[in-house]
């Protein structure tokens, strides 16, 4: 069984702003530009938001709110070097800025600088610890091989997280495997299936775990078929079904499923290798030879 690899934590830049749009009348220009930027940022218009924050910055380059929001938009625009610089300046002006400490930890985790990330996590006050903080602490502990420490932190994060986060499931599952907590892992997956049974991403993850970690290939086939019947198909689902059906010895299902994959994947190496395996299983030597030639051409 292959080892589940860690997935890089997505940079979710948190903001202390309310989701409601604030009024912008009767405000001095600096505050007006900040609130305009917040509105635009909440709408996903980060370039326009940046322009407003730069106007506010021109009036006062030491306002921690402006500095923090500049960090936010630069992070969303992919300029993490500038994002980090503005967050650092924000905490210099306001050393109680919990949002900036968390985002600095996120950026340094993504860079692979775990010592720097841990430094900023230590600056987060106890009453400001949230699920994202827990994930970071647990992910870093797991990355550094401190599995016993990572286990309770990630367990707590999973309990309090309101949304499906496959990064968390992937890392936490690997920690439980390394700690030989197979029964607890199985029950966690089962409980989550009850909650996320209609989520395509979870079905792919769950069926893979059932097949690769627990050898429950027939159950994985049933899970995938149920989802497909209730929610419709998709190329990744068809490929997953073909793969687990092969492992379950259900060659007919594997053949039918691989045949449902669209031309979008016809030159995808993993798809071709899977299709070759299916064709080989059902004895279609002519198709196997065709796929072999194609693989040589594109490899």
Instruction: Report yes or no on 298 lying in a domain.
Output: yes
Instruction: Report yes or no on 262 lying in a domain.
Output: yes
Alpha carbons 214 and 283: distance in angstroms, whole number: 28
Residue in the block written with tokens 């860690």:
6
Instruction: Report yes or no on 53 lying in a domain.
Output: no
Instruction: Report yes or no on 80 lying in a domain.
Output: no
The two three-digit tokens of residue 177, written as one number: 């495997």
- Nearest CA to 242 among 202, 195, 281, 284? 281
Instruction: Report yes or no on 140 lying in a domain.
Output: no
Question: Which stretches within the chain are classed as H helix?
Answer: 29-42, 46-59, 64-76, 80-93, 98-111, 114-122, 131-143, 147-160, 166-178, 182-196, 200-214, 217-231, 235-248, 251-258, 269-282, 285-298
pLDDT at 86: 97
- How many residues are recorded in the chain? 299
**Alpha carbon 100 to chain centroid, angstroms:** 21
pLDDT at 5: 29
pLDDT at 24: 47
The whole domain housing 274 covers: 203-299
Query: Digits of tens for pLDDT over the chain (299 positions)?
Result: 233 223 334 455 555 544 444 444 445 789 999 999 999 999 999 999 999 999 999 999 999 999 999 999 999 999 999 999 999 999 999 999 999 999 999 999 999 999 999 999 999 999 999 999 999 999 999 999 999 999 999 999 999 999 999 999 999 999 999 999 999 999 999 999 999 999 999 999 999 999 999 999 999 999 999 999 999 989 999 999 999 999 999 999 999 999 999 999 999 999 999 999 999 999 999 999 999 999 999 98
pLDDT at 14: 56
Question: Which CATH number covers residue 286?
Answer: 1.25.40
The pair phi, psi for residue 233, each rounded to 5°, is: -95, -165
Q: 153: Cβ–Cβ under 8 A, 6 or more apart, which residues?
A: 134, 137, 138, 141
Instruction: Report yes or no on 33 lying in a domain.
Output: no
Instruction: Report yes or no on 84 lying in a domain.
Output: no
DSSP one-letter code for 145: T
Tally of domains within the chain: 1
Alpha carbons 19 and 32: distance in angstroms, whole number: 17
Neighbours of 87 (CB within 10 A): 29
Neighbours of 76 (CB within 10 A): 18
pTM of the predicted model as reported, rounded to 2 decimal places:
0.83
Alpha carbons 158 and 154: distance in angstroms, whole number: 6
pLDDT at 1: 27
pLDDT at 65: 95
DSSP 49-61: HHHHHHHHHHH-T
pLDDT at 36: 94
Instruction: Report yes or no on 287 lying in a domain.
Output: yes
């Amino acid at each position: 069984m292959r080892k589940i690899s860690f997935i890089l934590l997505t940079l979710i830049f948190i903001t202390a702003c309310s989701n409601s749009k604030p009024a912008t009348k009767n405000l001095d220009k600096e505050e007006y530009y900040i609130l305009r930027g917040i509105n635009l940022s909440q709408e996903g218009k980060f370039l326009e938001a940046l322009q407003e924050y730069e106007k506010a910055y021109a009036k006062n380059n030491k306002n921690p709110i402006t500095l923090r929001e500049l960090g936010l938009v630069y992070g969303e625009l992919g300029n993490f070097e500038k994002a980090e610089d503005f967050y650092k300046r924000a905490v210099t002006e306001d050393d109680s800025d919990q949002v900036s400490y968390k985002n600095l930890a996120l950026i340094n985790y993504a860079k692979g600088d775990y010592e720097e990330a841990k430094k900023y996590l230590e600056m987060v006050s106890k009453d400001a610890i949230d699920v994202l903080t827990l994930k970071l602490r647990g992910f870093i502990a797991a990355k550094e091989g401190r599995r016993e420490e990572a286990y309770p932190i990630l367990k707590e994060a999973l309990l309090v997280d309101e949304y499906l986060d496959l990064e968390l499931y992937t890392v936490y599952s690997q920690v439980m495997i390394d700690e030989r907590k197979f029964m607890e892992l199985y029950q966690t997956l089962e409980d989550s299936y009850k909650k996320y049974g209609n989520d395509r991403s979870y079905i792919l993850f769950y069926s893979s775990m059932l097949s690769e970690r627990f050898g429950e290939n027939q159950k994985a086939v049933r899970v995938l078929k149920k989802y497909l019947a209730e929610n419709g198909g998709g190329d990744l689902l068809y490929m997953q079904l073909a793969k687990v059906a092969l492992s379950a010895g259900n060659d007919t299902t594997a053949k039918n499923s691989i045949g449902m994959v669209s031309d979008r994947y016809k030159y995808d190496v993993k798809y071709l290798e899977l299709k070759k395996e299916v064709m080989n299983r059902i004895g279609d030597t002519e198709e196997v030879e065709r796929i072999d030639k194609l693989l040589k051409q594109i490899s």
